Homo-oligomer: A and B are copies of this chain.
């Protein structure tokens, strides 16, 4: 008897972050290599024309569409911490994800997932009230939506507690601390640029559920469902291409997360 273990993983990327005349990212170039697109919703980036173009492009490439809500801080690209009340955070997510659902309906590309952006994502990894606000907004809009979050984060826990499916996210090009958090970008070595190394870490994370921390310790990740790539540099494009083909070569199926979670 032959027993073959089979592995799946999703590749996600933040897209649709341009704003009117202000263009960011290489959406058209990166789309062929990913399986899930996190589409900006207008608060940190992503005007309505851009949202429509991005969803049309994703659909053309068979890429699953998700909402990528952020803080109402266009000037800071949603990357600055803001102190919101529970109700502000919840309604801001309803508003943004609702808007994306509208476009998803129009383009016949139903929303697969929600991944908070920037400071909203980072704060929700630790802040219970914020994580709960996001989770309840998603749940009340559509309980079939998948929440993207790092394993062991408060956001992952709240979403799972609420009965939502959670896609555990792995950052293949970022160094990890022994506690499973990412090494701050302000520190040397925080970003891993060699494609081989990135692919190696991704394959290990998917197949073995571990990543080596900066001090050499192994960090347990559990099942990794989706790998985040960045779309805003030429390096990132090369990385995405290497990642996709590296995962496939390692016998891993690269599919939108809703197909296997």
Chain B residues positioned under 8 Å from A98 (CB to CB): 98-103, 105
Query: Does residue A196 face the partner (Cβ distance < 8 Å to B)?
Result: no
Instruction: Determine the chain B residues whose CB is within 8 A of the CB of A102 once the complex forms.
Output: 94-95, 97-99, 101-102, 141
Flag the segment in A46-54, A157-165, A173-181, A250-258 that touches B. Answer: A46-54
How many protomers of this protein does the assembly include?
4
Contact between B92 and A48, CB atoms less than 8 A apart: yes
Q: Tell me whether A47 and B75 are in contact (CB under 8 A).
A: yes
Question: Please, which residues of chain B bring their CB within 8 A of the CB of A84?
Answer: 76, 80
With contact pairs A94-B52, A94-B102 given, residues A74 and B19 touching in the complex (Cβ less than 8 Å): yes
Contacts of A75 in B (CB 8 A): 19-20, 47, 72
CB-CB under 8 A from A238, the residues of chain B are none
Bound CA–CA A39/B89 (angstroms): 20
Nearest Cβ on chain B to A170's Cβ, whole angstroms: 25
Closest to A72 in B: B75
Assembly CA distance A83 to B100 (angstroms): 24
| Distance, CA A179 to CA B204, complexed state (A) | 55
Interchain CA distance A91-B106 in the complex, whole Å? 10
Closest residue of B by beta carbon distance from A96: B99
> A140 on the interface (CB 8 Å rule)?
yes
In chain A, positions 13-67 with a C-beta closer than 8 Å to chain B are: 18-24, 42, 45, 47-49, 51-52
Among B20, B24, B76, B105, point to the contact of A74 (Cβ < 8 A).
B20
Residues in A lying within 8 Å of B, measured CB to CB: 18-24, 42, 45, 47-49, 51-52, 72-77, 79-84, 87-88, 91-92, 94-103, 105-106, 119, 137, 140-142
**Further pairs besides A20-B76, A22-B45, A81-B81: 4, Cβ < 8 Å:** A21-B45, A48-B88, A52-B91, A98-B102
